[in-house]
Amino acid sequence: MPRGESRLIDDARLASRGEPRTGLAVAVWATLKRDLTQLARRRGDVLNPLVFFALVITLFPIGISPDPELLATIAPGLLWVAALLSALLSLDSLFRSDFDDGSLEQLLLAPHPLPMLGLAKVAVHWLLTGLPLALMAPVLGIMLSLPAGSYLMLAVSLALGSASLSLIGAIGAALTVGLSRGGVLLSLLVLPLYIPVLIFGAGAVQASILGDGAAAHLAILGALLALALMLAPWAIAAALRISING
């Protein structure tokens, strides 16, 4: 073997040893960590949906009536609709800043499957929007005199349902990220798709108030989440490719 060639192979070996690991898990973890750090620095983006949630819930007693009995009957639906709208509000920024500074393009060029990387970004969105909303909902439930015994169900159904909302919403966010005024269009695209989640989410809380078991509702919410987990990442990846290349 000529001397030069063996040295070349040696160099390649050296390089592969010195390079950082580049498995899929590493890439997903890096995306997760990066997005979490970024959002931790922009606290407004995380807090705004929560403040919006509280504000909307404040509007209803003022607009309808402070009567606790009336509020108690409509509280499950109100809380769910308000939480859904708050989650929607935060969707537009899901890919926006990454699109503006070009890091979304880097994500597309990465040698890892885009659906998985997109899933990591959606997971961050859920961790910092859906989960806080679910934790905050019981407090607002007290203000709407939500009947006792349904608080845990409210939080659980919101936590489970908002994961589906984040996944479905991310498809819309990915489709509209390249458009300069995508915000209103995003809600038009996404809200009709949210309806099944809303029906079963609010239904779960309602069922636990009535004393029926809400396990069936949670099971269906879980099934919706499983379906969304299976299909949405591919749609998100396809949509991101369209938005970047178009």
The residues binding another protein (CB under 8 A) are: 171, 175-176, 178-179, 182, 185, 188-189, 191-193, 195-196, 199-200, 203, 224, 227, 231, 235, 238-239, 242-243, 245-246
Would you say 133 or 236 has its CB closer to another protein? 236
Write down the least CB distance from residue 22 to another protein, Å.
29
Q: Which is nearer to another protein, 118 or 203 (CB)?
A: 203
Nearer Cβ to another protein (136/205): 205
Q: Alpha-carbon distance 164 to 154, whole Å?
A: 16
Closest Cα partner for 172 from 109, 228, 108?
A: 228
Residues 72 and 40: their CA atoms lie apart, in Å, by: 36
Exposed/middle/buried for residue 138 (C-beta within 10 Å: 0-12, 13-18, 19+): middle
Among 202, 84, 71, which Cα is nearest to 143's?
A: 71
Taking the complex as a whole, how short is the minimal distance between the CB of residue 50 and another protein, in angstroms?
Answer: 27
Closer Cβ to another protein, 46 or 193, answer by number:
193
How crowded is the C-beta side of 182, counted as CA atoms within 13 Å? 25
Tell the smallest beta-carbon distance from residue 125 to another protein (Å). Answer: 18
| Least Å from the CB of residue 144 to another protein | 20
